[in-house]
Structure 1
Amino acid sequence: MTKRVAVMDLGTNTFHLLIAEGTVNNYHEIVHYHEAVKLGEGGINKGYILPDAFERGLNTMQQFQQQIDANQVQQVRAIATSALRNASNGKDFINEVKARTGIGIEIIDGEQEADFIYNGVKISGCLSAKNSLIMDIGGGSVEFILGNAGNIIWKQSFEIGAARLMDLFHRTDPIPPASIEALDVFLDDKLAALFTAVKGHEVDTLIGSSGAFETFAELIETEKGHSFNLKTTKNYSFDHEELLVQTSKLIQSTHQQRVGNKSIIPVRVDMIVVASLITRYIMHKLAISKVLMCTNSLKEGVLAGMLD
């Protein structure tokens, strides 16, 4: 008897719903849906969910509940990360969701978030015996996990997600050189623990977990005239030079150019700039030339635990 489960990943920018059934190594997706809630919009660095964002979040959770009921789900987990973790009215949101939908939201810390991301990436099959550095760029936080197919060596969550960085550094478009320099100095300081942790470990590959990396891959492939379908692409290996060219274009682009590009989903139109900058920064700082994209992330890691 296979179990049908639902996982909700309630991020700073996007709320995801994944309904699946089967086993951990062979599951079938029934619903895979995401909504650009932008929970952190306008309030991310103030630690407060603004009224419009609060309402968007509630409406999306009610839609998710309808999907869960319609698909006769047996077990449900709703996981909240950086935005709800740090918002002064995060508990109010959780209580209101419970009252309207019956869904109980779990707030997880950065350590748990990193564990789930690792497990999600692991079941995709893109880890090897060599060490990889997994990077998951969220809206509120960025997780780094150093590990291999066998185990996690080190992990940490940093509150430097794309929505926070955009709020701090990307005020004018295209982003000016002075802002890029300021961002690099900021990252030097904020990511000191990462650089200490990777010393003495050889990092073979940078694995970008979903998000911006999906956009980088889609842009590269569609510009070559190839079709690209995220539903059928679990992993993607970047050509180092192509990735640098693509991220350069994004960094130098205007809002209007990005809006007009069908390969960039609306919620990523502006955040893709700081995501490009932090990706290039890590590649340069750690001298990594081998980069993979994995479409699995936190929700697949939660799913793995529920189906195991």
Structure 2
Amino acid sequence: MKSEAAISEGSPAAKAGRRAVIEIGTNSVKLLVADVVAGKVQPVWEESIQTRLGRGFYESRCIQKQAVTRTTEALAKLMKHCRHCRAESLRIVATSAVREAANQQEFARVVSDVTGKPLEILSGQQEAEMTFRGIATQPELAGLRLLVMDLGGGSTEFILGERGHPQFSRSFELGCVRLLERLKPSDPPQIAELEVVQGAIMDFLASEVRPVLEPVLRASAEPVQLVCTGGTAFYLARMELKMSAFNRKRIESLRLSRDGVRQWVDRLWQMPLEKRKCIVGLTPNRADVILMGVAVVESVMDLFKFDELRVTTRSLRFAAVLEPAAAADGGGQKVQGGQPPPA
């Protein structure tokens, strides 16, 4: 199974305080191995493997057998990297698709049997708050008032806060894979299909997100910096920078204008799938779902009138390595292999 991204930034030689986190998302499974020194996260190895756990999920609300197989294969590969990097501890968390799945307990036991670790199924609130704390590890953002948008495969989290402390956080059932499963565009995509997608996103934002987010944005006159994390943001930055290799500093220094995002929407939605697969910075297995991702980013910037977007490579995994599993108990569940589902 091929990785979307495998990034080494440190030595695999064992160090005290080395920890690992695996995040099972709707679109991909991601690994972070990091040294935690004086409360700071120093990444050693990061890897992402696309498994499309959400494929076929939204019709039945059950994780499909093929998706389980792809995920367990990815987990086996990532576990090898954890051992190679000599991580002292491993934490495994799951987000939107597993959170919503009717067969979540069965899936969690499979994961635990493969890894030997309990699976933490994060609540939406837990996911949002951990994402903000993870992003606050980026020094340039630590002192700013931020609106973080964590755009994932199955959900999007909006978190408003400053100086590392979230003041508002909410998870919404708006995600790239979820949209792709519901609104499958033609190849090449048509302008009329883009209009349908944009309309569906705007309707959701206007009815579900704006009524709760706009009042907290207006509660203070202080400027707010929009920051986006997740696969869409990461690959949008790589495309903008024409970047084939990973460079955290360049990505996190990038400012994307609303016009710039709109230009990417127009360009991507005019290209057939095979041509999108050849764009520098975009991995071929992201060439389908990127259509939905950029449409969401553009709609959020339009609706809430943000002229600039910053991208971060950090995420809830950066918070998860900073705290032991017990400290993150905020509504999530843990399932150990061999246990029956709770009554």
TM-score, normalized by length of structure 2? Answer: 0.81
Matched, 1:197 2:211: no
Q: Among residues 290, 297, 302, which one is paired with 2:315 in the alignment?
A: 297
Whole-Å Cα distance in 1 between the matches of residues 38 and 291 of structure 2? Answer: 35
Q: Which residue of the partner structure matches residue 114 of structure 1?
A: 128
Give the aligned partner of residue 341 of structure 2.
none
How far 1:61 moved relative to its partner? 1.7
Corresponding residue to 1:53 among 54, 57, 67: 67
Residues 1:84 and 1:227: Cα distance change in structure 2 (over 3 Å)? closer
Q: CA deviation at 1:245?
A: 1.8
- Which of 221, 233, 250 is the aligned partner of 1:213? 233
Distance in 1, matches of 2:180 and 2:168, equals 27
What is the identity, as a one-letter code, of the residue corresponding to 1:92?
A: E
Residues 114-123 or 253-262, more deviating: 253-262
Aligned in 2, Cα 1:26/1:178: closer, same or farther, shift over 3 Å?
A: closer
Judge conservation of contact 2:95–2:122 (CA < 8 Å) in 1. Answer: yes
| d(CA) in 2 for partners of 1:257, 1:117 | 33
Are the aligned partners of 1:137 and 1:162 in contact in 2 as well (CA < 8 Å)? yes
Match of 2:116 among 97, 102, 109: 102
1:155-201 deviations in Å (ceiling 9; x for gaps) = 10101111111222343341522342233223322323223432333
Cα deviation, residue 18, structure 1: 1.3
TM superposition shift of 1:128 = 5.4
Cα offset, 1:152, TM superposition? 1.5
Unaligned runs of 5+ in 1: none
1:299/1:129 Cα in 2 relative to 1: closer, same or farther (>3 Å)?
closer
Q: Given the superposition, is the C-alpha separation of residues 22 and 178 from structure 1 closer, same or farther in structure 2, using an over 3 Å criterion?
A: closer
What whole-Å deviation, never above 9, does each CA across 1:103-137 have from its counterpart, x for those lacking one?
21100101110111111110012325442210010
Q: How many Å separate the matches in 2 of 1:166 and 1:45?
A: 13
Kindly provide the amino acid, as one letter, of the partner of residue 255 in structure 1: L
Q: In the TM superposition, what are the counterparts of 1:20-169 in structure 2 within 5 Å?
A: 20-23=34-37, 26-127=40-141, 129-169=143-183
Q: CA offsets, 1:86-105, max 9 Å, x none?
A: 11122111112222331211
Query: What is the RMSD of the two structures over their aligned residues, measured on CA atoms?
Result: 2.4
Q: In structure 2, do the counterparts of structure 1 residues 228 and 55 end up closer, same or farther at CA, with 3 Å as the change threshold?
A: closer
TM-score normalised according to structure 1 size: 0.90
CA distance in 2, matches of 1:301, 1:150: 11
Moved more, 199-208 or 213-222: 199-208
Structure 2 residue aligned with 1:180: 198
What letter corresponds to residue 21 of structure 1 in structure 2? D
Q: Compared with structure 1, are the counterparts of its residues 280 and 19 closer, same or farther at alpha carbon in structure 2 (3 Å cutoff)?
A: same
- Structure 1 residue 234, shift from structure 2 partner: 5.6
Instruction: Give the conservation status (yes or no) of the 8 Å contact 2:252–2:313.
Output: yes
Rounded Cα–Cα distance in structure 2 between residues aligned with 1:265 and 1:32: 16
User: Closer, same or farther in 2 for the Cα pair 1:58/1:129, shift >3 Å?
Assistant: closer
Deviation string 1:219-248 (CA, Å, 9 cap, x unpaired) is 1121xxx77633454613324133332233
The alignment partner of 2:63 has SS state of coil
Amino acid at match of 1:3: G
Judged with a 3 Å threshold, the aligned counterparts in structure 2 of structure 1 residues 45 and 197 are, in CA distance, closer, same or farther, namely farther
